[in-house]
Structure 1
Amino acid sequence: MTARRLVGILGAAIWGTFGMMPAQASAAGGDPAPQDIRLGSAGALVDICTVEPTHDDYAASLGFCYGFFEGAVRYHQAVSGAGVNRHLVCAPEDTTRQQGVEVFIDYIQENPQYASEASVDAVFRALGARWPCKD
């Protein structure tokens, strides 16, 4: 399988999984519940990633948040490592997932004009601003 074909397949999988799901608020006043964890924007991802530890669905929300970041980063590694695309983010090797999430949350809170952007686009906008690549 060629690198370009792999990139196309992975891109379609990511788009189908995350890009087309609308954000929904739960009937209980907007707090996320497991069945409501869907993304329509970067702001929705910030909401999921910042659920209070005392919330009933904290573990599910945090798991979704970390899983989203893990998937996005792994996809980025696959497409940029294939030699087809350049790296968008050049974080130090010891950067943790938690650090990436914190950078994203801070960035969107400081740049609310990107809150309506697609979640994965905003993740890489934030991480790239913090850890740019020197091309």
Structure 2
Amino acid sequence: MSKLPRFHSKSSVLFVGLLVMGLEVGPVAAVEETDFRFDTTDDLYHVCATTSKDPNHVVSQVACNAFIEAAVQYHDAVTSRKGLKRLICYPQGATISDGRAAFVAWSEANRANAKRMGEMPVVGLVRALAKAYPCE
């Protein structure tokens, strides 16, 4: 099985550099500092759905990509053990960007569902990716 490609190391270096420099992520229309705590699926949605017009777009996209990559790597590592069922069966060639788009679309379709959007973000992400890439 293929893995979702990792995001470029330049992005992770930029993200770590911004964190080390103490970049403050202030409130803006799409994303707020509290969203970066990733307490809920709604928080992850706000971070992943930023547009290039958002002043925090680069940091948000790197954080979103890192969250998705970590969750998928964990899923792959855990399910590769004998007897554990895969929840996400993405096709070869799927990318982090594909996963982000699937998550954002799922979140937008579920915005009115307070229970789903209030779940831990990894739960919402897995729900979204399992819907986009179901296992047979």
TM-score by length of 1: 0.72
Paired residue total: 108
Deviations 1:57-115 (A, max 9, x none): 21111100000000000000000012242100111011111011111111111123221
Over the aligned positions, Cα root-mean-square deviation in angstroms equals 1.9
* Residue 39 of structure 2: aligned partner: 40
Quote the Cα distance in structure 2 between the aligned partners of 1:107 and 1:61.
18
Residue correspondence of structure 1 range 39-58 to structure 2 within 5 A: 39-58=38-57
Aligned to 1:62: 61
Matched, 1:92 2:94: no
- The SS at the match of 1:37 is helix
CA distance in 2, matches of 1:58, 1:108: 18
Residue 116 to residue 94, structure 1, CA distance change in 2 (3 Å): same
- Aligned-residue identity in percent: 26
**Gaps (5+ residues) in structure 1?**
1-25
Question: Where do residues 119-130 of structure 1 align in structure 2 (5 Å cutoff)?
Answer: 119-130=121-132
Q: Is the 8 A contact 1:104 1:126 kept in 2?
A: yes
Counterpart check, 1:115 vs 2:117 = yes
Higher RCO by CA contacts (8 Å cutoff, separation 6 or greater): 2
8 Å CA contact 1:89–1:132 kept in 2: the answer is: yes
